[in-house]
Amino acid sequence: MLRNVLILQSGERTSVIGKAVSNKILLSVPDDEYRTFRPNLEYPNLPSHFTLHEPSERLECVYFLNGGLISLIVPMQDGKTVAAGVVGNEGAAGVPIVAGLRRSPVREIVQISGDGFRLKSVAMHNILKSIPDFT
């Protein structure tokens, strides 16, 4: 079913603890769906060079940046790395969780410090199951 999507402006939504939302994904989610996310959103500061995820580890969280920049890096067998992408406030890191995956081939590293919201994988799966049109 298609519906009109109203994208809110930065700061028009807040987390439970009153932190303003600037992430484009969280601002574009319909109100009824955002209400299911809101109680589960944690607010971490993300310092430069902080590693969010290593390919050898299980994915634990999805990160929705308000500000800053995350690099997606693919480590090669010979020890070299290849940049695969970047994530800012328009996207999210840990996205394979949404597809039900437990691992990702990329290393996710904060390149430019910032802040945002973290949603644990268990909460994300429960929320997605509760959305009627999500397939």
Structural tokens at position 101: 């995956």
Largest Cα–Cα distance in the chain? Answer: 48
The CATH number of the domain holding residue 91 is 2.60.120.10
Give residue-wise pLDDT tens across range 73-110: 999 999 999 999 999 999 999 999 988 889 999 999 99
Neighbours of 47 (CB within 10 A): 10
For residue 51, the enclosing domain spans 24-130
Give residue-wise pLDDT tens across range 23-33: 999 999 889 88
8 in a structural domain: no
- Residues with Cβ within 8 Å of 34's Cβ and at least 6 positions away in sequence, in order, are 13, 26
What's the whole-model pTM score? Answer: 0.88
94 in a structural domain: yes
